[in-house]
Amino acid sequence: MTIRPILIHPDPRLKKRCDPVTEITDEVRRAADDMLQTMYDAPGVGLAGPQVGLMSRIFVMDCVKEEDAPPRPMVLINPEITWTSEALNVHEEGCLSIPEQYAEVTRPAEVRVRWLDLNGGVQEEQFGGLWATCAQHEIDHLDGKLFIDYLTPLKRQLITRKMEKLKRERARL
């Protein structure tokens, strides 16, 4: 397993809609393993393909919060939201592609998601709490959307300028 570098906004790959996975090959399985390791190492609770330059509809997440609970690493391929609750939830979001920036985003409180697992089996599950927020955040990544796209243009511009500065500083190192 390899930790892959995480792309930082602004990057054109983070604005593109990803292609469906057509076959679950060893390459897809390796990418999923690497993505999980990269997510845990960051650390984060989710990670989507385009964040590591993989322009395919795949994301990983593990939103288990309890210290003593076992981890629940999940790999979701070609995920689709099949139902959203009318009830909304406001959650503070972060993004591994926009380090150290956080903002409140309003989204459906619960979602049902259907996806393919690594064996090609169809799975469907209803998520609430951080799981629901994270799944929606990650599916947005697959559609080229970032959480800052929900903010005012002024806030978005401010964060984008900070990220441009961060990237310049990192490039000088």
Is 93 assigned a catalytic role?
Answer: no
Q: Which is nearer to Zn ion, 110 or 138 (CB)?
A: 138
Active-site residue (options: 93, 138, 164, 169): 138
Query: Long-range contacts for 22-29 (Cβ within 8 Å, ≥24 apart)?
Result: 24/77, 24/116, 24/118, 24/119, 24/120, 28/56, 28/58, 28/77, 28/118, 29/118
What distance in Å separates the CA atoms of residue 17 and residue 142, rounded to the nearest whole number? 6
Of the candidate residues 56, 78, 101, 133, the single one contacting ligand K1U (CB under 6 A): 133
Q: Cα-flanking dihedrals φ and ψ of residue 82, to 5°?
A: -100, -15
CB-based burial of residue 67 (10 Å sphere; 0-12 exposed, 13-18 middle, 19+ buried)?
A: exposed
Q: From the list Zn ion, ligand K1U, none, pick the one residue 140 interacts with, judged by a Cβ distance below 5 to 8 Å according to partner type.
A: none
Site track 66-95 with ligand K1U (rule: CB under 6 A), x = hit = -------------------------x-xxx
- Based on the shown chain and the rule CB under 6 A, indicate whether residue 44 belongs to the binding site for ligand K1U: yes
Q: From the list Zn ion, ligand K1U, none, pick the one residue 134 interacts with, judged by a Cβ distance below 5 to 8 Å according to partner type.
A: ligand K1U
Q: From the list Zn ion, ligand K1U, none, pick the one residue 43 interacts with, judged by a Cβ distance below 5 to 8 Å according to partner type.
A: ligand K1U
- Based on the shown chain and the rule CB under 6 A, indicate whether residue 137 belongs to the binding site for ligand K1U: yes
Q: What are 84's two structure tokens? A: 């959203």
Q: Which is nearer to ligand K1U, 46 or 79 (CB)?
A: 46
